[in-house]
Homo-oligomer: A and B are copies of this chain.
Amino acid sequence: MEKLRIGMVGYKFMGKAHSHAYRDLPMFFPNIVHPEMKVICGRDESGVSAAAKQFGWEEYATDWKTLLERDDIDYINAPSDAHKEIALAAAKAGKHVFCEKPLALTLKDSREMLEVVEACGVKHMVGFNYRFAPAVILAKKLLDEGKLGEIYHFRACFLQDWLVDPNFPLAWRLQKEIAGSGSHGDLGAHLIDLAHYLIGDIEEVIGMSKTFIKERPIPAQMSGLTAKGSNSEEKAAVTVDDATLFLARFANGALGSFEATRFAAGHRCTNSFELNGSKGSVIFDFERMNELQVYFTDDDEDVQGFRRVLATDPSHAFAENWWPPGHTIGYEHTFIHEVVELMEAFRENRQPVPNFRDGVKCQQVLEAVDLSIEKRQWIRISDV
């Protein structure tokens, strides 16, 4: 592959994050092939034309179908919501395709998506961007090197607090028909993927969930994560979960605990996990995403303790492409690293990771949890 010409659908929160990644990549990773920012697409012409200019896209379009007809587009980056139709059509048109997580609103849909992209022989990727924090990659490296030993525990929480205010309006993420799911699909999906990445397959789950605030004001306008104002005193029902927790048994014997909520006052974005093994433990918290707490059982007796490792040294993934040790990076960099993986996959002619297979695996657990909540019993992943 000598070039990758991108068509991007969506220009809000994720659209901005991905656009920036494409744009920033060449500067910090000069020695790999760089994507070309061809067309950005959105329904609102004034919005998308402004975004095209702001983000640096060559062109804009208002109908995503036109992207599929063009020869000069190789790769479709689908939006956060409603990406199934786009992804399927793109693959059938021979385009490589990227989807946000969760991969689909249902497991069935996600499986269909995987089938189609595989049948079409295109490359596919899914947006589990937290895999690309250098501190997370360090955790994976320690695991792969056996430095943490056999894994006993994985406990993960994704805690946010933007819904604690009962007057926060009914954003699209709170509507099941658009978002598919609430905290579970939005935040829990990331935790599940990290669990797959770090620990491996989950065998069975049981969960519980709750919508604490049942009705919210209808918003005046929505954008990205947020929704502002409300043009009336009218309220409508929140149709997704505010919080979902579940227990899990992993195939390798580890015990897992998962919690996703938007009702944890004081936590803006605590995407955190801890992992305890026979030789050591690690702790990660996205609010301090440059850090990994690392513990080894074979440290000298009198100096055992969690080390606060700043994953900005040359020995850490991607770090040498950025700044000297101790000079931290931020949220947006996970997307840039994601694109590095994408481009490397093209160069090596393999599927990028994570891809739709990972998306389906995640969806399977999400749905198993939902089923376990509905049926009030343990659900084996292999049964959904």
Contact = CB atoms under 8 A, between A and B. Distances in A.
A313 B302 contact: yes
Contact of A313 (B19, B30, B304, B332): B304
A318 interface: no
A269 B325 contact: yes
Contact of A23 (B27, B289, B301): B27
A261 to B, nearest CB: 6
A295 interface: yes
B268 A255 contact: no
A122 interface: no
Contacts of A243: 152-153, 255
Contact of A301 (B208, B226, B265, B315): B315
A247 B206 contact: yes
Contact of A303 (B20, B157, B276, B307): B307
A83 B240 CA distance: 49
B308 A306 contact: yes
B24 A24 contact: yes
Nearest to A299: B307
A196 B281 CA distance: 30
Contact-size category for A: 35 or more
A19 B259 CA distance: 41
Given A27-B54, A307-B306, A255 B325 contact: no
Contacts of A164: 278, 297
A139 B294 CA distance: 21
Contacts of A304: 266, 307, 309, 313
A246 B247 contact: yes
Contacts of A330: 290, 322-323, 327-330, 333
B331 A323 contact: yes
Interface in A216-254: 224-226, 242-243, 245-247, 249, 253
Given A142-B303, A299-B307, 17 more contacts: A17-B323, A23-B27, A27-B56, A152-B242, A159-B276, A206-B206, A206-B247, A208-B249, A264-B281, A265-B281, A269-B327, A301-B315, A302-B315, A306-B307, A329-B332, A330-B333, A376-B377
